[in-house]
Amino acid sequence: IKGTILNNCNPDAKYASVTGGKFVKRNKHWPDLILTEAASLKRQGFWEYQFKKHGTCCSDLFNQEKYFDLALILKDKFDLLTTFRNKGIIPKSTCTINKIQKTIRTVTGVVPNLSCTPTMEL
C-alpha cells in the first residue's frame, strides 16, 4: 500500500548467520560500525536487526540472502554517502532533516521517511 511504513513485518522471522565470502562481502559494504569484525562475525545482531525490521517486509519477493544482495546493489547504485559528503552532511555535523531529505531525493527521486530521536539523532 502506497505510503505504508514497512517496518517489522515479521518480528518472529529467523535470521541465518553468514560466514565465508558472504560475511566478507557484507562486512566490507555494510559493516556493523559498533562491533569489531570478529565480534560481528560471531553475533551479527546489526544485520539481524536490519533483516527483521526491513527485510521481512519483502519476504514474498526476496529471501534473506536476496534481500541483502539487493540492499548492497542499491547502496552502490545510489551512493548516498558520497552525495552526503558533497553536500556537507558528514558525521557529527548539524543539518536539518529537510536538507537530508532533499539530498536523498536528488539521488533516489523519492522523499524518504525520516525522523529524529528525542536526543536529535537521525
* Dist. CA 103–CA 10, nearest whole Å: 31
Condensed to tens digits (0 to 9), the pLDDT of residues 38-55 reads 999 999 999 999 999 999
Residue spans per domain, the chain: 20-77, 78-121
pLDDT bracket for residue 2 (50, 70, 90): low
For 10, the grid coordinates are 515479521
Query: What pLDDT is attached to residue 4?
Result: 66
Distance from the Cα of residue 91 to its chain's centroid: 16
The letter for the amino acid at 29 is: H
The letter for the amino acid at 114 is: L
Output the average pLDDT for the chain: 89
Query: What pLDDT is attached to residue 33?
Result: 87
* Dist. CA 52–CA 36, nearest whole Å: 22
Predicted TM-score (pTM) of this structure = 0.73
